[in-house]
């Protein structure tokens, strides 16, 4: 079945460490997104990519980095520069163009100890 796979589902990190969250899709979607979810704040856009080898900052990109070397993959690195990284991270994709529907992964919960 087509879908989006995020890993790991749960991740613990010590302060000062970088961590990378994986996002893989087999939907042949062009556009991919990373959102951060905090209780009572909805979803906030971190980065997005509409084609391979290109990506743009979203509303809260500081302290994060991404790459898009393959159409299927859009990993997110949470760097030590991110002041408050504990959150639920969601990856999504869409075919791109127009008000298309997003398909979401199951999310990764990052906790900084």
By CB under 8 A, name the binding residues for another protein.
Answer: 4, 40-45, 88, 90, 92, 97-102, 104-107, 109
Q: Which is nearer to another protein, 61 or 80 (CB)?
A: 61
Q: Which runs of E-coded beta strand occur in 1-113?
A: 4-7, 10-13, 19-25, 31-37, 43-51, 54-57, 64-66, 76-78, 87-94, 103-104, 108-112
| Least separation in angstroms between CB 16 and another protein | 27
| Least separation in angstroms between CB 44 and another protein | 8
Cα angle vertex 66, ends 68, 34, to 5°?
A: 95
Q: Which is nearer to another protein, 16 or 84 (CB)?
A: 84
Q: Which is nearer to another protein, 99 or 113 (CB)?
A: 99
Contacts of 102 (CB under 8 A, 6+ apart): 33, 92, 93, 94
Q: Which is nearer to another protein, 81 or 106 (CB)?
A: 106
| Least separation in angstroms between CB 2 and another protein | 14
- Listed residue (28, 31, 4, 39) closest to 109, CA to CA: 39
| Least separation in angstroms between CB 55 and another protein | 15
């Amino acid at each position: 079945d087509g879908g989006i796979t995020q890993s790991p589902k749960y991740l613990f990190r010590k302060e000062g460490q970088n961590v990378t969250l994986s996002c893989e899709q087999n939907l042949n979607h062009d556009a991919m997104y990373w959102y951060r979810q905090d209780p009572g704040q909805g979803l906030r856009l971190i980065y997005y990519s509409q084609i391979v080898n290109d990506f743009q900052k979203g509303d809260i990109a500081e302290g994060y980095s991404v790459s898009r070397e393959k159409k299927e993959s859009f990993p997110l690195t949470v760097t030590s520069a991110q002041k408050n990284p504990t959150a639920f991270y969601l990856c999504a994709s869409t075919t791109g163009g127009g008000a298309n529907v997003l398909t979401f992964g199951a999310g990764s919960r990052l906790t900084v100890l």
